[in-house]
Amino acid sequence: MLHAGLLALADEPTPGPLTVDGGLMLWTVIIFIALLAILKRFAWPAILGAVEAREQALEQQLAEAERNRAEAAKLLEEHKRLVGEGKAQAHAIVLEARQLAEKERVVAMEKTKQEQEELLQRARREIATERDRAVADLRREAVDLSLAAASKLIGERLSSETDRKIVSEYLASLDGAR
C-alpha cells in the first residue's frame, strides 16, 4: 500500500517554479490586496508621517546650519575688524609713545643745556669774583711792598693813609696805561 500511494503521487505533476496553480494564485492575490489595504490604512500614514517629519527635521537642520554659517561669517568679519582696530590702536599707541619720548628727550636736553648754562654763568661769576679778590689782594700786597720799598729808600716808615693813596693811584694809573 505504501508503494501504491507513492505511485499515485508520482503520477501527479510535481509543482515547480514554472507551474501555475490557480488556487494558490487566487489566495496570494487576496492576501496581497488585504495586506495592501491594511498597510494603506494603518502603516502608510505612519511611514509617510515619519518620512515627512524626517524631511522637515533635515530642512530645519539645513536652515540652522545656514544661519550658523552666516553668524560664523559675521563673527569672523567682526573678529577681523576688531583685530584691525587693535592693530591700528597699537600702532597709534607706539607712535604716540615715540612722540612723547622725543618730546621728553627734547625737554631733558633743554633742561640740561639750561642747567649747564647756569653752571657756566655761576662759574664765570665765581671766577670773576675770585679774580677781582685776587687783584685786590695783589694790589694791597703791591702797595705794602711799594711802601716798604719806599720807606727803605727814604729811610723812614711810610704808613699814613695819604702815602697808601698815592701808591694805589700810581698802580691804578699803570693798569689804565696798559
pLDDT for the residue numbered 140: 80
Contact 15, 21 (CB under 8 A): yes
The rounded distance, in Å, linking the Cα atoms of 122 and 119 is: 5
Q: Give the Å distances, CA to CA, from 8 to 3, 15, 16, 127, 148.
A: 9, 15, 18, 159, 188
The model's pLDDT over 57-66, given as tens digits with 9 standing for 90+, comes to 999 999 999 9
Q: Give the Å distances, CA to CA, from 178 to 1, 11, 108, 131, 167.
A: 181, 174, 46, 18, 17
> All 3 cell numbers of residue 151?
720807606
The model's pLDDT over 64-74, given as tens digits with 9 standing for 90+, comes to 999 999 999 99
Task: Give pLDDT < 70 ranges for the chain.
Answer: 1-15, 148-159, 174-178
Contact 144, 138 (CB under 8 A): no
pTM comes to 0.39
